[in-house]
C-alpha cells in the first residue's frame, strides 16, 4: 500500500492532493479493501478502470510505499523509478509521512 503526505507537509501534501484530484475528481472509482494496518486504519486500493491511482501516485513521487506490511513488486518498481528519475518527493526528499506523523504525536505528548 502507499502512504500519502499529510497536507501540512509542505509542499508534498498539497501537490499530492492536486495530483489525486487530476486522477480522480469526477470519475467513477472502484475501491478494493486490502485489510488494516497496525493502527486499525483500513487499507484500500483505488482504481479508475484498470488504473491503480496509488501506483500512479508512487510513479510521480507524490506518495511513498507504506513500509509496514506486504509490498507488491510493481509498487517497489514504481517507487524505484520515481527515485531514479527524481520525481516529486525524490527531487529534494524530506520527511516520510509516517515519520512526520510520529514526530507530531511525540510533540503533542510533550505539550
Confidence label for 34 from pLDDT (cuts 50, 70 and 90): confident
Mean pLDDT value of segment 4-19: 94
* Distances, alpha carbon 23 to alpha carbons 76, 91, 109, in Å: 21, 21, 37
Non-local CB neighbours of 42 within 8 Å, separated by 6+ positions = 33, 35, 36
Would you state the cell numbers that stand for residue 75, as one nine-digit string?
509498487
**C-alpha cell read off for 61:** 513521487
Q: Is the pLDDT of residue 24 over 90?
A: yes
Domain extents in the chain: 2-110
- pLDDT (tens digit per residue) in 47-58: 999 999 999 999
Banded model confidence at residue 110, pLDDT cuts 50, 70, 90: low
Closest among 41, 51, 91, 93 to 74, alpha carbons compared? 51
CATH node for 2-110: 2.40.50.90
Please state, in angstroms and as integers, the Cα–Cα distance from residue 63 to each residue in 6, 28, 69, 109, 110, following that order.
10, 22, 16, 27, 29
- Give me the phi and psi of 109, to 5 degrees please: -70, -30
Question: Phi, psi (5° rounding) for residue 52?
Answer: -85, 110
Q: Comparing 6-10, 34-38, 56-60, 73-77, which segment has the lowest mean pLDDT?
A: 34-38
Distances from the Cα of 75 to the Cα of 3, 46, 58, 100, angstroms: 12, 14, 7, 22
Amino acid at each position: 500500500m502507499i502512504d500519502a503526505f499529510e497536507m501540512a507537509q509542505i509542499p508534498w501534501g498539497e501537490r499530492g492532493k492536486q495530483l489525486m484530484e487530476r486522477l480522480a475528481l469526477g470519475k467513477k472509482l472502484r475501491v478494493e479493501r486490502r485489510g488494516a494496518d497496525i493502527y486499525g486504519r483500513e487499507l484500500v486500493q483505488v482504481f479508475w478502470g484498470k488504473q491503480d491511482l496509488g501506483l500512479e501516485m508512487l510513479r510521480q513521487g507524490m506518495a511513498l510505499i507504506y513500509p509496514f506490511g506486504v509490498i507488491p513488486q510493481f509498487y517497489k518498481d514504481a517507487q524505484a523509478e520515481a527515485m531514479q528519475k527524481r520525481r516529486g518527493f525524490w527531487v529534494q526528499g524530506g520527511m516520510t509521512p509516517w515519520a512526520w506523523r510520529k514526530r507530531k504525536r511525540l510533540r503533542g505528548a510533550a505539550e
